[in-house]
Amino acid sequence: MGERNVFLVGPMGVGKSTIGRLLAAELNWPFFDTDRVIESRTGADIPWIFDMEGESGFRLRETNVLRELVAKDGAVVATGGGIVTRPENCDLMRSNGVVFYLTASVDQLVKRTSRDKKRPLLQVENPRQKIVDLLEERDPLYRSVANYVIQTDHFSPKTAVADIRSHL
Ligand code: S3P
């Protein structure tokens, strides 16, 4: 099992992929994004998976991909915002690397996801309220799985990467 991996958790739009890609480039480690791996394994995009299999089908695929990725050694893994909703996923990350919770204000999250059509959970009448509700449910989960909390509001991705690196 891989022990030196870095896992990035946090809400949709916080910048897990951008920050993860940058971090991986600086460390010269491979980068994976669970959502992209799920899509390539399935041969379909996330909205299609949610349509055809529902959120529960997507969650099964997500856990399967995570099981595969935790076996890496020295990888940066950006995860989907709902990864923490299955306790098994939290156990997998905690025992195979260091977990960073990236946070941002609701205003930032709303701004960064506002034109997005690829996140099925936000295709609702009031996406801001959905973001608030999801955060209320998930913030304690992110905090309990994370080794470190990284604030991204008012910081560039580069600064967030430096913050993460200071803990490695
Ligand atoms: C989800 C977050 C998405 C993606 C899916 C569900 C969630 O990932 O996994 O749309 O439940 O918060 P990002 O956090 O990368 O947008």
User: Is the CB of residue 46 below 6 angstroms from any atom belonging to ligand 1?
Assistant: yes
* 22-28 contacts at long range (C-beta below 8 A, 24 or more positions apart): 22/157, 22/158, 22/161, 23/76, 23/161, 23/164, 23/165, 24/75, 24/76, 26/161, 26/165, 27/74, 27/76, 27/165, 27/168
Tell me the pLDDT tens digit for each residue of 41-64: 999 999 999 999 999 999 999 999
The pTM (predicted TM-score) of the whole model is 0.96
Quick check: CB of 9 below 6 Å from ligand 1? no
Q: Is the pLDDT of residue 2 over 60?
A: no
CA–CA gap between residue 18 and residue 67 (Å, rounded) = 23
What tens digit of pLDDT does each residue of 153-162 get? Answer: 988 999 999 9
Nearest atom within ligand 1 for CA of residue 13: 16
Nearest CA to ligand 1 atom 9: 80
Q: Does position 93 have pLDDT exceeding 70, yes or no?
A: yes
Q: How far is the CA of 11 from the centre of ligand 1 (A)?
A: 7
Residue nearest to atom 16 of ligand 1 (CA): 12
Nearest-CA residue for atom 11 of ligand 1: 82
33 pocket-lining for ligand 1 (C-beta < 6 Å): no
State in Å: Cα 42 to ligand 1 middle: 16
Q: Give all strands (DSSP E) within the chain, no chain letters.
A: 5-9, 31-33, 76-78, 97-103, 148-151
DSSP state for residue 84 in the 8-state scheme: G
Q: Whose CA is nearest to atom 10 of ligand 1?
A: 119
Return the pLDDT at 135.
98
